[in-house]
Amino acid sequence: MGRIAFLFAGQGAQVPGMGKSFFDGSQAAREVFETADRLRPGTSEQCFNGTADELKETKNTQPCLLTVELATARALEEAGVKADVTAGFSLGELSALTYARAMDLESGISLVMKRGALMQEASEQQDTGMAAVLKLSNEDVEKVCSQFAHVYPVNYNCPGQVSVSGAADEMADFTAAVKEAGGRAIPLKVSGAFHSPFMAEAAEQFAQELSAHAFEEPVIPVYSNFTGAAYEGGILETLSKQIDHPVKWEMIIRKMIEDGVDTFLELGPGTTLTGFMKKIDPSVKAFSIAEFADIQTAIEGMKEC
């Protein structure tokens, strides 16, 4: 077996009840939830018993997902599974940086709380949305977007799937244009036009928040959404630009494989990232760790690699 990568899920992966099995099954995971509750009272309650609508609010989604993801990582480590490299999709990049010890858990939680609040505020100031475009090449999606004043390709997920952010009053016509081009546009369950110019003010304000924190050199490589490559210093600048620039996810995964990674573990609810893996390179091993029992399944699967 080659190198192992932990992939931390992004917004949209949230589901009611997430994280409860890790809280029940792992002392290390439980400590993460306890820390989150100390800094942001009610986080565990929202994860375990919050409604889908409550969890969809960006100010709730982001701290809850980061808590669940880092609890999952701690449970994996408790079981003897550690990553050689890591990355996170959008907000998951904060989870990845925290896991890689670029910041401590308290800082990770505090920063994601601020990030979520800023992005929700930006979303509420504008009527926007996001959609996943299927069955078109990156270039074709970019071409369709160029026909609209305020629709942008923002998440380069995998071959045949690019997410876009745009003004709400342009999305219906955009969807029709995608269909005419031979593709399909599916609305996403998020509350704003993330990773686009609509988030410019949030990115600027988050940069100010980041400047108040001290960062350490990650103990393992962390791959950046903004550059598509491993961080080489400049965490503050790179992490703030991530908010209003596209996520280069397919590039990240291909770079990881080039760097010797052949086993990927998705941390967080859902299977979105493992689904991307199958389209990027079906020859590598990918496991979804959405429930505590998935840890043992992954360990057994990795033994067969």
pLDDT in tens, 122-181: 999 999 999 999 999 999 999 999 999 999 999 999 999 999 999 999 999 999 999 999
Q: What is the mean pLDDT of residues 236-264?
A: 95
- The active-site residue, picked from 191, 195, 196, 288, is 195
∠ CA 56-241-136 to the nearest 5 degrees?
A: 65
Rounded average pLDDT over 54-58: 92
- As annotated, the residues of the chain forming the CATH 3.30.70.250 domain(s) are 128-187
For the chain, give every residue range classified as CATH 3.40.366.10. Answer: 3-124+196-303
Between CA 1 and CA 302 the distance in angstroms is 8
- How large is the C-alpha radius of gyration of the chain? 18
| Phi, psi values for residue 155, rounded to 5° | -125, 110
pLDDT classification of 244: cutoffs 50, 70, 90: very high
Residue 95: phi and psi, rounded to 5, are -60, -45
* Mean pLDDT to the nearest integer, 236-259: 95
Could you confirm whether 191 is annotated as catalytic?
Answer: no
**pLDDT in the model for residue 2:** 80
Query: Which token pair is 74?
Result: 């701690």
- Residue 303 is predicted with a pLDDT of 84
pLDDT of residue 260: 96
Looking at residue 12, its pLDDT comes to 86
Q: Give me the catalytic one of 26, 44, 90, 123.
A: 90
State the Cα–Cα distance between residues 67 and 106, nearest whole angstrom: 11
Residue 70 and residue 92 in contact, taking contact as beta carbons nearer than 8 Å? no
At which residue do the structure tokens 């192992």 appear? 4
* Confidence at 1, pLDDT banded by 50, 70, 90: low
Dist. CA 123–CA 127, nearest whole Å: 7
Mean per-residue pLDDT of the chain: 95
Q: Residue 53 in contact with residue 271, Cβ under 8 Å? A: no
pLDDT at 305: 58
Cβ pair 195, 90 in contact under 8 A: yes
> 90 an active-site residue?
yes
Edge-first strand listing for the sheet containing 128-134: 151-158, 161-167, 128-134, 184-187
Which CATH architecture is the domain 3-124+196-303 placed in? Answer: 3-Layer(aba) Sandwich (3.40)
Task: Give yes or no for a contact between 223 and 229, defined as CB atoms under 8 angstroms apart.
Answer: yes
Fold of the domain built from segment(s) 128-187? Alpha-Beta Plaits (3.30.70)
